[in-house]
Structure 1
Amino acid sequence: MFLIDGYNLLHAAGVFAQGQAAGTLQAEREALLAMLAGRLTAKQRRVTTIVFDAAGAPPGLPDTATHESIKIRYARGYEDADALLEEIIEQHRAPKGMVVVSSDHRVQRAARSRGARWVDSEQWVRELPRVKKRNPSDRLENAPGIGDAAYWAEQFSDAETIAALEHAAAEEARRKGSVPRRPPEDPKQPLPPKKPKKEQQRFGEGIFEGFPPGYGEDLLDGPDIS
């Protein structure tokens, strides 16, 4: 598990937001989260928690949120983020499996007291892999089902990901042996005429049909060779 001191890492990473919201705490947080989402693997994101001070937190949002599987916690009801970080470290069932990311000595002492590993924010961000193009299959991992259209419409809109989803849906249909459903018929449209049912023909029936009338009668008038 990665437990990250949010604003401490933000200053260490030197991440800056762009656009009209640049310079606001919310924009800076979003820029940091985008950087983490691009440089952590899907497995790492699922075990990452980042803690921010409650000051400047988006109004009306819950104390806990997620971004690309990264868990976000705002320290509402706490003196500061350090107090919440200390509580998480203290209550964690397996602290030796934690990596606490903070340059704050108070947070580092809390980690050391429980046997958790800790690393300075500057060192941790330097050791992160460089930003690279995300694999669409990485987004699909551990995500809602292919049929959850509302989720996918909200999360993705790029052509590359849509193509990946369509491929995944086709593969799922192939594994299950299913075929795409036909669209419902329009009740206002007239039904096409039914083709007459072809009667089953018995073996040998009709094989001599098609000769012109009188064909072979002259054979009956031939000489008697008996």
Structure 2
Amino acid sequence: MSLLLIVDGYNVIAPVAGPGRSPDADWLQVERKRLIRRLCEHLPESVRQRTCVVFDARCPPRNRAHQYTVGGMEVRFAVEQVEADDLIEELITQHTAPKQLAIVSADHRIQNAAKRRGAIAFDSQPWLDALLEGKPQLAIVVESASEERAGQGSGKPSGGMPQEEVERWLREFGFEP
């Protein structure tokens, strides 16, 4: 199954947390955790299963794998690349159905790489705003989390992950909720 969504992680959290905005030394880990929680809460399960969030490897989580899964989403740190943009470009280039792929990044380099392959690129801040309003933007139409939840009795998969499950996964990978 190929990816539907690639999120340039630090690019999405940058507008809400900069180095000068928090006295907490672990602000970056806190913001990564917040982004992962938001994605788990607002993306339908069928999309989470086909989502990859990419972060630069400059500050990967201590004592954790550089690639793991949280709530069905793949989380990767670009440890073998100079920066996350390089890994994102590789993922775009290797994608077998790029017209079904959405990329979330304000970085013009990434947006151009997506467009060259026929993928759709969304600017980070408007995309995050739409996600938090319950309207995740993708390249293709999928059921929203509320539509999936409404279909629970019809045998459709459940939608958003319960808060307890999100917190369990965050703890599993070293993030305290």
TM score, norm. by length of structure 1:
0.54
Deviation per CA, 1:176-208: give whole Å up to 9, x if none. xxxxxxxxxxxxxxxxxxxxxxxxxxxxxxxxx
The 4+ residue runs of structure 1 with deviation greater than 3 A are 20-23, 129-133, 135-140
Looking at CA atoms only, which structure, 1 or 2, has the larger radius of gyration? 1
What are the within-5 Å matches in structure 2 for residues 195-210 of structure 1? none
Q: How far, CA to CA, are the matches of 1:47 and 1:15 in structure 2? A: 26
Report deviation, 1:41. 1.4
Q: Which has the higher contact order (CA 8 A, sep 6+)?
A: 2
Structure having the larger proportion of residues in helix: 2
Q: How far, CA to CA, are the matches of 1:11 and 1:24 in structure 2? A: 11
Q: 1:155 to 1:87 in 2, by over 3 A?
A: same
What are the within-5 Å matches in structure 2 for residues 1-226 of structure 1? 1-12=4-15, 14=16, 23-130=26-133, 138=159, 155=168
| Identity, % of aligned positions | 36
How many residues end up aligned between the 2 structures? 140
Structure having the larger proportion of residues in strand: 2
Report deviation, 1:44. 1.6
Q: 1:58 to 1:92 in 2, by over 3 A?
A: same
The CA RMSD over aligned residues, in Å, is: 3.1
Which ranges in structure 2 are unaligned for 5 or more consecutive residues? Answer: 135-144, 153-157, 170-177
In the alignment, is the contact (CA less than 8 A) between 1:51 and 1:85 conserved in 2?
yes
TM score, norm. by length of structure 2:
0.68
Report deviation, 1:63. 2.1
